[in-house]
Amino acid sequence: MNSIINKQVDVRHLGLVEYQTAWTEQERLSAQITAQKLHNRDRPAPQQQPTPNYLIFCEHPHVYTLGTSGSMANLLIGEDDLREQYGATFFKIRRGGDITYHGPGQLVGYPILDLDNFFTDIHRYMRLLEESIILTLADYGLRAGRIEGIGSDRLTGVWLDFDGSAEDPALRPRKICAMGVKASRWVTMHGFALNVNTDLSYFGHIVPCGIADKAVTSMAVELGREIPVNEVAGRVQTHLAELFEMTI
């Protein structure tokens, strides 16, 4: 536990950036935080320095990522075809969750936080990430929520028509935001991907998040218009700051 609590968060907007570039930056910032924690560990409080926190917003060119608990069977075409026919890349990464897609028009958020500055509870961390997206979607008149369950039956992320209450019985739960995180020494990496103006056809090459009986959607599809990704990022940032009691 840190003797000096730091809830200041450095927000960085990277724009459209290659997945590998963002991954490398996450690794660099995470290592910086961890090194400071280790430096503090055996020192008296007066000699300790606060650990920093970061929040990265970006978009990626077409890319598919597979988490440690995912299955290659959920990638429905070969990696060569992805690259040659669709201009997409593929990465296996160290985060929770299965396979997902990132691309232009999708808001990706990577909180690189020392949870010792906030709370040491991964379950709470994930629920607050989800809540920030739920509140953001409510700002645009979209009713979103979670699909609850126990253990593996719980579907992480944020969904529309999540509770089966839609007036149209043909509507089924639709995932609008995927999440997958990693934490080491209570330092977080990876995060969420909110479909804002995303080309949903790219999800047709995978079983999104390994869930075959659910659909995906975007804010643009649901609202019938495109929304500036930076505008949505601003709203997410506001809700994250409130929920985590951050200072931006």
Residue 151: predicted pLDDT? 45
Give the mean pLDDT of 212-233. Answer: 93
Catalytic option among 22, 158, 209, 236: 209
- Beta pairing class for 63-66 and 89-92: parallel
- Whether residue 4 is contained in a domain is answered as no
- Whether residue 162 is contained in a domain is answered as yes
The residue with greater pLDDT, 17 or 83, is 17
Indicate the pTM of the whole model: 0.91
What are the structure tokens assigned to 162, written together?
């999540």
Residue 208: predicted pLDDT? 72
Structural domains counted in the chain: 1
- Whether residue 2 is contained in a domain is answered as no
Average pLDDT, the chain: 90
Give the SS3 label for residue 10.
strand
Cα–Cα dist 242/142, whole Å: 20
Residues in the chain: 248
**Does the pLDDT at position 2 exceed 80?**
no
Residues 209, 113, 56, 239: is their CA dihedral positive or negative? positive
Q: Give, as one character, the DSSP assignment of residue 52.
A: P
**Does the pLDDT at position 98 exceed 50?**
yes
- Whether residue 82 is contained in a domain is answered as yes
| 102-133 confidence digits (pLDDT tens) | 999 999 999 999 999 999 999 999 999 999 99
- Whether residue 144 is contained in a domain is answered as yes
- Whether residue 106 is contained in a domain is answered as yes
Which residue type does 78 have? G
- Whether residue 60 is contained in a domain is answered as yes
Task: Give the domain CATH number at 174.
Answer: 3.30.930.10
% of the chain with per-residue pLDDT over 90: 67
- Whether residue 181 is contained in a domain is answered as yes
177 is a catalytic site residue? no
- Beta pairing class for 187-195 and 106-112: antiparallel
Give the mean pLDDT of 62-91. Answer: 88
The residue with greater pLDDT, 150 or 16, is 16
Q: Give, as one character, the DSSP assignment of residue 50.
A: P
Residue 237: predicted pLDDT? 98
Residue 190: C-alpha distances to residues 2, 34, 88, 95 (Å): 22, 16, 19, 7
Residue 224 domain boundaries: 10-244
Give the SS3 label for residue 192.
strand
Residue 173: predicted pLDDT? 87
